[in-house]
Amino acid sequence: MQITLADIKRGQQAIITDVSSIHIPLKLLEMGCLPGNLVELVQVAPFADPMYLNINGTHLAIRKETAIHILIDITNA
């Protein structure tokens, strides 16, 4: 099974491997959510949603329904 950004735990770092350009708003891609970029989970709101992420130096919050369309490789467990 492939790991998506929705599965990332706090303190873990990951590399984005693929994004589904149909499900992800272009705006998010433009903010740096692109394959090859580093992503880290900073904080989660109660009920684990939305997620507060640091993607490529940009700090932003997205909903889990968006995060499941972003594939990642976890680089530190």
The residues that touch another protein, with contacts defined as CB under 8 A, are 19, 21-22, 25-32, 34-35, 42-43, 45-47, 49-50, 52, 56-63, 66
* Closer Cβ to another protein, 34 or 74, answer by number: 34
What are the φ and ψ backbone dihedral angles of 59, each rounded to 5 degrees? Answer: -95, 120
Q: Which is nearer to another protein, 1 or 22 (CB)?
A: 22
Rounded to a whole number of angstroms, the minimum distance from the CB of residue 35 to another protein is: 8
Measure Cα distances from 65 to 37, 48, 75, 77 in Å: 20, 11, 23, 24
Length of the chain: 77
